[in-house]
A and B are shown apart, each in its own frame.
Chain A
Amino acid sequence: MTHTRRTRAAIVAGQILLAAFVLLPFFWMFSVSLKPPSEPFAIPARLWPEDPTLSNYVTAFRPEFRTYFLNSLIVSAASVTICVTLALLAAYAFSRGALIALTALMGMVVLAQMFPHSAIIIPIYKMMRSADLLDTKIALIIAYVSVTLPVAIWMLRGFLVKLPVALEEAAAIDGAHPLRLFWEIVVPLARPGIIATAVYVLIVTWQEFLFALSFTSSKAERTLPVGLNDFIGQYGIRYGELMASSVMVSAPVIAVFFFLQRYFVAGLTAGAVKG
């Protein structure tokens, strides 16, 4: 597209404004996390600390924080692995099977992704209570896999229907076992879709708050979002530490996202745009 000088200047100005709107809070979070407790950030605040220090990070990385971090890591890693595996199997069945029952079931998958978590949480809570799973990571993993499955299946199915079936047919004629065919042909070809789905599940589970808040009660089992929410009460006024914790909570997902955003963006937009 070509632009006259004036429209070009207007667009660039708009882009700068947009970037400032998005990035200023991030910059502020980072800047305050580096401020020594002695340096005030009251109005009129300095945007960048005079004497940046990592001391807030050292203080914020307390034993509780490490426990929450480890819990989040375990819960997210398990949820991503299980959800993507199950979703890939289901998506494969949905994309290759030709039964009418499958169309109906896919409709049920799409419908399920609209269920409000707050509306289904009480029966799930009661089930976990009966199974004696409250305040365990297993309860969170089960809940997270269940609620992320519909979108994961939808993303992967959108990906699998675009793969050429010819390769699979050729291998089937050669007498390859369907399971081998799935493992050696479909899985490698679906890699970009698998990565995109895994990033989606990670983003959702890493920040999930409602289930974690309702199902966990002990410090030993809580995940980062709940732990961070607890910090507000405990260390409310010490914003430097709170911001340092926030940076440490966000950094892993932001890093993963920047490495894999190509896959994620393609995977997420394919379904919605194609409809």
Chain B
Amino acid sequence: MTRRDQWLLWLFLAPTLLLMGVFLYYPMIGTVWESLHQSSFISPDPEFVGAQIYSRVLDDPDFGTILANSLVWTVGVVALQNVLGFAAAMLLNQGLPMQGVLRALVLMPFILPGVVTAILWRFMYDPQLGLVNSLMIRTGLVEDSAAWLADPGTAMAAVIFVAVWKGFPFSMLIYLAALQNVDESQLEAATLDGAGPVRKLFDVVLPAIRHVVLVNIVLTLILTFNYFDIVWVLTRGGPQDSTHIFPTKIYETGFGQFQFGEAATYGVMSILVLAVLVALYVIVERGTSRRRPEA
């Protein structure tokens, strides 16, 4: 584009800037504003209350539960999803027949709508009719059918499992693309040096895709932390709040009880927690890469 066409450039950008300004950046600031104002269903006019709602939310034992659940949920899903995604990428990158078909089939959970996924797995977990119990009893893993989603001790694990099932194909996709950039000649050289598959993995493959692993983990961290549909449809945050995470709590408080101030406060807190999580991960990652310089 020439200098003369500069106006055109801004014309092209105008609708996007307008929409993003009004419906992404303004609401971001609006949420902070909401968190400082009290309103309710009975008295809908917001009134400035300063940090009052924050101190109320932070004093509420619910907040600790939500925070702990969110951390378990996020770390669990991200770790399992990336390990499984990487393993699947390795398995489907060996040049064996049927590889292309398998890659496409394995991506299917990623396309399956979230609400469908949740309904399907509610059924899979059903104590009487579900396939999970039926398979576990037949293979002798459990003796009696269990209500995985109704027991506060197992609900979180059951929900994490579903999210990993749906999410790992996305990680696999990114890792598969990254594996295409691993230098074949370096792998061959390592083989000639007598390196086994494990050493090749840690000394050649992982250093070569290190950057992608970082991007992938940060990406899945953000997506997982903000997950709503699967958790809501599977458990509504229950039983006994054992699967309540920030997004389900915000929805319940905001649209179930119409306490916008509380919901917005949880929203602001969730952004802060997410920012800390991402920053922590990036710092730790940087730290380990400095200790172990790339070959």
Contacts and interface: CB of A to CB of B under 8 A. Distances in A.
B79 to A, nearest CB: 17
B173 interface: yes
Interface string B260-281: 1001100110110010000000
A44 B123 contact: no
Interface stretch (A12-20, A48-56, A58-66, A187-195): A12-20
Nearest to A21: B165
A116 B264 CA distance: 12
Interface string B4-34: 0110111011011101101111111011011
A32 B174 contact: no
A275 B215 contact: yes
A63 to B, nearest CB: 20
A149 to B, nearest CB: 6
Given A116-B247, A207-B113, A273 B177 contact: yes
Given A28-B120, A153-B16, 13 more contacts: A25-B109, A26-B112, A28-B131, A89-B12, A93-B9, A97-B6, A112-B20, A118-B246, A123-B26, A124-B23, A150-B20, A213-B255, A239-B129
Interface in A206-226: 206-207, 209-210, 213-214, 224-226
Contacts of A229: 115, 119, 233
Contacts of A163: none
Given A146-B23, A261-B107, A97 B267 contact: no
Contacts of A117: 226, 228, 247
A25 to B, nearest CB: 6
A172 B3 CA distance: 12
Interface string B218-252: 01001001101100110000000000001100110
Most chain B C-beta atoms within 10 Å of own C-beta, residue among A119, A146, A229, A239: A119
Contact of B123 (A146, A153, A242): A242
Nearest to A28: B131
A121 to B, nearest CB: 7
Contact of A118 (B96, B222, B267): B267
B108 interface: yes
B154 interface: no
A246 B119 contact: yes
Given A118-B250, A273-B181, A18 B106 contact: yes
B216 A119 contact: no
B12 A93 contact: yes
Interface string B98-118: 100010111111011111100
A22 B250 contact: no
A196 interface: no
B19, B105, B122 interface centre (most CB from chain A within 10 Å)? B19
A86 interface: yes
A119 B270 contact: yes
A268 B111 contact: no
Nearest to B271: A119
27 contacts: A11-B96, A18-B88, A18-B92, A21-B165, A22-B169, A26-B112, A43-B133, A45-B131, A89-B12, A90-B15, A97-B1, A97-B9, A112-B24, A116-B225, A118-B246, A119-B271, A122-B264, A122-B267, A146-B20, A146-B24, A147-B24, A178-B8, A210-B229, A232-B119, A250-B116, A268-B174, A269-B173
A1 B94 contact: yes
A263 interface: no
Given A86-B19, A243-B123, A246-B119, A253 B173 contact: no
Contacts of A44: 134, 138
B72 interface: no
Contact of A273 (B119, B138, B178): B178
Contact of B134 (A43, A109, A115, A122): A43
A120 B19 contact: no
A272 interface: yes
Given A25-B120, A207-B229, A239-B129, A269 B13 contact: no
Given A43-B134, A207-B229, A119 B94 contact: no
A243 B116 CA distance: 9
B95 to A, nearest CB: 5
A89 B123 contact: no
B80 to A, nearest CB: 12
A149 B24 CA distance: 10
Contacts of A225: 113-116, 229
Contact of A109 (B20, B30, B176): B20
Nearest to B131: A28
A24 B123 CA distance: 13
